[in-house]
Amino acid sequence: MKNICVFCGSSSGTNNVYSLAAKTLGQQIAARGKQLIYGGGNVGLMGIIADEVLANKGEVTGIIPHFLFEWEVGHEGLTALIKVDSMHERKLLMSQKADAFIAMPGGFGTLEELGEILTWIQLSIVQKPVGILNVNGFYDALLSQLDHMVSEGFLKQENRNLLISSDDPIVLLNNLENYQVQSTEKWIKPNQT
pLDDT of residue 82: 97
What are the chain's domains?
3-129 (3.40.50.450)
For the stretch 145-171, pLDDT in tens is 999 999 999 999 999 999 999 999 999
Q: What percentage of residues in the chain have a pLDDT greater than 70?
A: 94
Q: Is the pLDDT of residue 192 over 60?
A: no
pLDDT of residue 185: 63
pTM assigned to the model: 0.93
Question: So what's the pLDDT on residue 184?
Answer: 62
**Single-letter residue type at 24:** T
The arithmetic mean of pLDDT across residues 83-110, rounded, is 96
Q: How confident is the model at residue 73 (pLDDT cuts 50, 70, 90)?
A: confident
Residue 27 has pLDDT above 80, yes or no: yes
